[in-house]
Structure 1
Amino acid sequence: MENVTDILRFDKGSLGRYALSRLVHMNYQARVGIMAAGCYGLPQFRLRVFFWGALPSEELPEFPLPNHDVVVRYWPPPEFERNVVAYDEGQPPELEDAVLLTDAISDLPPVTNCESSDEMPYSKPPETEFQKYIRSRNYEMIGPDTRKQEAVLYDHRPHQLFEDDYIRVCQIPRRKGANFRDLPGIVVGDDNVAWRDPDTKPVLLPSGRPMVPEYVFTFEHGKSERPFGRLWWDETMATVVTYPNCHSQVVLHPEQDRVFTVRECARLQGFPDDYRLCGTVKKRYRQVGNAVAIPVAKALGYALGMASQKLIGKEPLMTLPPKFAYSNRL
């Protein structure tokens, strides 16, 4: 079973504790682990809670230890820190480097806010190990003859911004850390609270609305730097969500005036490029954002397979094979 870490935060973790108690009450062996998707080769942190359950006659699967370094973006409730799937502090692991945004999407062709094509050709070859894997996975699994087919990129289109938001996004500088605070007429105090400069006349859009909308000052009491934020090439996303809302999330492309496309979000979740999504653009984002990150599912599947073959010990954690993240043959 998988869920968000909020089940461990709400009401002192009563939801998570109840789920675990029900498994035990039904005579299942049970184990709880908190896993970060970035620890398995993705440029997003994405902390999630997983429950293993097994009958007394079966082997209870272990949780797979990380194989990549990760940029920590947030942490679970302190009382559940011992459930984080990680190496002990005195146990130095040999981890691969953290995967960054540039590792995942730098090879994708540029598109505009108005892009509506569901299919397009690639514009350049893969540049990183991640890109080679995400693009060639189907060839390795199906066979070399598929290389004769012309490679097609699916779902590389963004949620189209309305005119007001598009004008605002075009004013956000193309640099690391840029966000709504770079728009004209904003003052930031020593307490990191942003407000309108009372000595500056507000800039209006063609619609008559202000360039800087009021909600950026009320969101998190004006202390948030996320509205209209650009994610930079050497950074990672906190979590891929079901809708790229630039009003409250850092979802702007580093160098293009738009939110991340469906395909870019799919890559941040580990979906191979040959995995085609269905429905409206909004529904495709939701399919991607609601999914368990593919490398995490793969690692858990490996652990389940080892348990089913009774090839594990009695420890709660296991080590994955070398180069597991980019292997299709286990």
Structure 2
Amino acid sequence: MGKAMPMISAGEFEVLRLVDICYEDQGKSGKRGLKFKVRWKGYSSSEDTWEPIEALSNCQERIQDFVRSGFKSKILPLPGDVDVLCGGPPCQGISGFNRYRNIDAPLDDERNHQIVVFMDIVKFLRPKYVLMENVVDILKFDKASLARYALSRLVNMKYQARLGTMAAGCYGLPQFRLRVFLWGALPSEKLPQYPLPTHDVVVRNWPPLEFEQNTVAYDEGEPRELEEPIILRDAISDLPAVTSHEIREQMTYGMPPETEFQKYIRLTKDEMMGFAQKGVKDAKKAILHDHRPYQLSEDDYLRVCQIPHKKGANFRDLPGLVVGHDNMVRRDATKEQMMLPSGKPMVPDYVLTFEQGKSKRPFARLWWDETVPTVVTFPNLRNQAALHPEQDRVLTIREYARLQGFPDFYRFCGTVKKRYCQVGNAVAVPVARALGYSLGIAVQKLGGNEPLMTLPPKFTFQLCPTD
């Protein structure tokens, strides 16, 4: 007979819904027995430690104790304590990459409901300033119902509010990356403005015409002094060559920076923040972290090796394909299909069915002179351009981080997949910095009442002042 399962309270049951449960044989003092243990769901035995069930006892009381002690120690802010509340409610529920979006009832998707939670937090804390970020699909999905909801909640709470769409490439990065930002400010504060572009980038896929006036850009014909766009070569050409099988977590650069972008992105934290002593150089050799790619399967690696090292190369360059007048790719019926050592075809079926075979994104190489598409949370070569221009691999974590504007001294945590996700989910650093500057102007009540402002010259690569 097996040992009976311990009695579990209603509160403990709520916790146990999130865990896996098992009995484990325990040998102690020469005796054999069973011990009831749990492990959080979604984690394997190699990723965490089994915990005894006793650690989950008295859940409700423990949560109450935590709240009481947290209130006394002010571990969490209270109404009136907060100056600025920033957040990006999850976008997966509305993103165009999600083929299973709930179109009929968006707020039934728990991820979309986080916008409600975000605004509830604003209502509770009553911060002086609010900044919410989301994907541009928030203006396209369901007639922009979620964007309208967020704006209406702020206005209903007596906040000043304005909404704007910004492109990362316009602030000194080699990727387009459109994002929507919603500013809010109490009536007693100056409502922050949106910083105008600093770089001359032609952006694709702007929001719907209905929200054209919310685009953060110069009007046509308006005088402007913009810098040349940053391209892929400017951002990553100094990084050492690695293979698809690279596993090193750190390495040396191997060559000096070649561009203004690279010189800036390779600064130490002290140098970038303006704390380094002038004329004093760090004697230690600079170390490069996170310069490793997601390792391709053997089949995909062999396919990538067949993609030419040239601009515009993609799966259409694989053998045995023809492109019709309708721009649809099909197998060449006159040629024998090439097979891989695994027995699978060189050209997989999914590239022929993706977007009816009309897409050029599967197994596509990026090129040196390009402003690249939006960096997402994983370099999936099956449906996006993610291949290095001249090396047979996807872009590394560090290369993705460079495209997002993360300085090289930033290090990312977790598995390779989780690190890509951290980079792809982030707000592009130069955009965040520009918004932070406009917030600083507003806090000092120095800005105007118009929605747009001009950043200082050479803002992108300026060091932070120390005074």
Using the size of structure 2 for normalisation, the TM-score is 0.70
Residue from 170, 178, 182 that aligns with 2:317: 182
2:418 pairs with 1:250:
no
Residue from 262, 271, 284 that aligns with 1:149: 284
Residue from 427, 434, 439 that aligns with 1:299: 434
2:152 pairs with 1:21:
yes
Aligned residue pairs total 330
Q: Does structure 2 conserve the Cα–Cα contact (< 8 Å) formed by 1:139 and 1:146?
A: no
Distance 1:200 1:73 in 2: 38
Distance 1:92 1:45 in 2: 23
Report the Cα offset of residue 62 of structure 1. Answer: 0.3
Match of 1:319 in 2: 454
Give the alignment of 1:213-252 within 5 angstroms.
213-252=348-387
Report the Cα offset of residue 268 of structure 1. Answer: 0.2
Give the alignment of 1:105-120 within 5 angstroms.
105-120=236-251
Q: Does structure 2 conserve the Cα–Cα contact (< 8 Å) formed by 1:139 and 1:147?
A: no
Give the alignment of 1:1-330 within 5 angstroms.
1-140=132-271, 141=273, 142-144=275-277, 145=280, 147-329=282-464
Distance 1:192 1:246 in 2: 20
One-letter amino acid matched to 1:269: Q
Distance 2:436 2:198 in 1: 15
Distance 2:270 2:393 in 1: 31
Gaps of 5+ in 1: none
Residues 80-89 or 143-152, more deviating: 143-152
Percent identity between matched residues is: 70
Distance 1:105 1:92 in 2: 32
Residues 88-97 or 58-67, more deviating: 88-97
Q: Stretches of 4+ moved more than 4 A in 1? A: none
Gaps of 5+ in 2: 1-131
Q: Larger relative contact order (C-alpha < 8 A, sep ≥ 6)?
A: 1
Report the Cα offset of residue 321 of structure 1. Answer: 0.3
Question: Computing the radius of gyration over CA atoms, which structure comes out larger, 1 or 2?
Answer: 2
Report the Cα offset of residue 149 of structure 1. Answer: 2.1
One-letter amino acid matched to 1:203: M
Task: Spell out, residue by residue over 1:200-226, the C-alpha distance to the aligned partner (whole angstroms, 9 max, x if none).
Answer: 111000011000000111101111000
Report the Cα offset of residue 139 of structure 1. Answer: 4.5
Task: Spell out, residue by residue over 1:124-158, the C-alpha distance to the aligned partner (whole angstroms, 9 max, x if none).
Answer: 00000000000025252341456222200010000
Distance 1:307 1:137 in 2: 29
One-letter amino acid matched to 2:263: K
Task: Spell out, residue by residue over 1:95-118, the C-alpha distance to the aligned partner (whole angstroms, 9 max, x if none).
Answer: 000000000000000000000011
> Structure 1 residues 137 and 83, CA, compared in 2 at 3 Å: closer, same or farther?
farther
